[in-house]
Structure 1
Amino acid sequence: MTPQQVVLTAQTLLLDWGDGPLRLTHVQLRAACRCSQCEAARRQGRGQTPAQDIRITRVEPLGHYAVQLVFSDGHDRGIYPWSMLRQLAA
């Protein structure tokens, strides 16, 4: 389900499905990336903690089911389904 409101702030992504806003930090979202490169790095024990100054520079909608986030470190391969974001914020 697509949130009613999506707001990108300096340090958070605010999502609201009508039952109260949920906030996810840019650092938290970069660490949660599920792209193949990030997943492989985690499986190989090479997962990294993102820099604390990482920022989301763009939010690209992907239909009604997800967004693609582009980060200040150039990473742009992760797809973030709305259901995953809601669960991550809970």
Structure 2
Amino acid sequence: MSGLTHDSASPQDVILHAVSRQLEISFDDGARFRLPAEYLRVHSPSAEVRGHGVGNAVLQTGKLHVAITGLEPVGHYALKIVFDDGHDSGLYSWAYLYELGVKHDQYWQDYLNRLAAAGASRE
């Protein structure tokens, strides 16, 4: 490992695994993540999901079967991910994708806890 952080690591390879609905990303520091479409969808950086201000996030429900239908690079800094539920407004910076990979277990458990507290479902 070269000591790069999520702020300085650059993507080396991006592979969409359509059948398993996962996005695989490898970075130049050796990190490699397989991120499920559902995870990416519920953690979209869009205002629709995050809300318009602190504490205004909108809990995403019913995304268990969501799939990625398109990937579009945005300059050299981000990836626009298009989902089959019509969501396409989130720009996932490489740093954010790296963070989602590193903190996957924590972020996923937080999401499951919020769903349970709201009495909501992934279905």
Query: Which structure 1 residue ranges, 5 or more long, are not aligned?
Result: none
What is the SS of the residue equivalent to 1:43?
coil
Give the paired residue count.
90
The structure that has the greater radius of gyration is: 2
User: Is the counterpart of residue 27 in structure 1 residue 35 in structure 2?
Assistant: no
Query: Which structure 2 residue ranges, 5 or more long, are not aligned?
Result: 1-8, 103-123
Deviation at 1:47? 1.2
Which has the bigger relative contact order, CA under 8 A and spacing at least 6?
1
TM-score (norm 2): 0.66
Between 8-17 and 36-45, the greater mean CA deviation after superposition: 36-45
Match of 2:26 in 1: 16
Deviation at 1:46? 4.0
The 2-side partners of 1:20 and 1:44 are apart by 32
What amino acid sits opposite 2:40 in the alignment? L
The 2-side partners of 1:87 and 1:73 are apart by 24
Identify, as 1 or 2, the structure richer in strand: 1
Runs of 4+ in 1 over 3 A off after TM superposition: 41-46
Match of 2:15 in 1: 7
RMSD value, Cα? 2.0
TM-score (norm 1): 0.88
